[in-house]
Amino acid sequence: MSSMTPLAHPPHSEAQLLAQAQQLAGRTLGELAAMAGLPIPRDLKRDKGWIGVLLEVWLGASAGSKPEQDFAALGVELKTIPIDGAGRPLETTFVCVAPLTGNTGVSWETSHVRHKLRRVLWIPVEGSRDIPLAQRHVGAPLLWSPNEDEERQLRMDWEELMDLIVLGEVERVTARHGEVLQLRPKAANSKALTEAVGAHGEPILTLPRGFYLKKNFTAALLARHFFLKTY
DNA sequence: AGCTGATCATAC
DNA sequence: GTATGATCAGCT
């Protein structure tokens, strides 16, 4: 326990990555931040990505911005997921920005969504705002790939949403579209604009959008994991 | 209460 | 603006 330390280098195998993640289970964010020498914000209001960065440090992921998977050599993406006392997600999960132009000929097979979700290390973290940040516990990790059903659900939603984008109907899409995958703003604020395609094929300016996993999807994959592990 | 639309920090 | 990391918070 006292030898616990952040990985100084990216893990060389999934097994090593998972082993390190399992070491974090049961610890509090306060303990992990102190051991890593990171200051703890009072809350996440102005530090929304803080937990993600903290766990990146512990797991040897390259912190910072790179359009790559967190563990590129392993092809693994890291996602922290806030959960309530019953282990259910408190928030949707951002996947990637949605391409709003240049989409002629794009397919699910080569999509960013599919690539990002090919293999994910999920790390549940207590997320209730009633629990002080430093006292929140890290849960047991789950190394996951979509099964046949999950992949089909994702593909169907992705194709529906991309069809609307290509047809110039992006501004008619709401977060209600999609069963497990939704499209929502992903921007600094409501004044940030990016290019998209209008209803008549003309260029328009609209909010940047991102693909997000709905809570029903992540809740199911977490529940399945804990069911199989426990019984 | 939960969801949808909006927002926060930082690097480049 | 885009890309990384996500959660906030007003409204239904």
Please tell me whether any atom of strand C lies within 7 Å of the Cβ of A94: yes
Q: Is residue A4 part of a domain?
A: no
Domain assignment present for residue A203? The answer is yes
- Hits for CB < 7 Å against strand C across A residues 20-79: 43-45, 47-49, 51-53, 55-56, 64-68, 70, 77-79
Q: Tokens 């290390």 correspond to what residue?
A: A121
CA of A51 to C1' of B9 (A): 13
Query: pLDDT at position A230, please?
Result: 45
Q: Are A153 and A217 in contact (CB under 8 A)?
A: yes
- Answer whether residue A100 is part of any domain: yes
Express each pLDDT in A65-76 by its tens digit: 577 889 999 999
Of A19-23, A97-101, A227-231, the range with the lowest mean pLDDT is: A227-231
Residues A145 and A123 sit within 8 Å (Cβ to Cβ): no
Look at residue A6 and tell me if it is in a domain. no
Question: What average pLDDT does chain A have?
Answer: 95
Which residues 145-174 on A are within 7 A of strand C at the CB atom? none
Q: Per the domain annotation, does A2 fall within a domain? A: no
**Domain presence at residue A8:** no
What's the CATH code of the domain at A53?
3.40.600.10
Burial of residue A65 (number of CB atoms within 10 Å: 0-12, 13-18, 19+): exposed
Among protein residues, the one whose C-alpha sits closest to the C1' atom of B7 is A189
In a domain, A124, yes or no: yes
How many domains does chain A fold into?
Answer: 1
Report which residue is nearest nucleotide B8 when distances run from CA to C1'.
A46
For residues A123-147, give the mean pLDDT: 98
Residue A166 is assigned to a structural domain of this protein: yes
- Domain extent, residue A87, equals 14-226
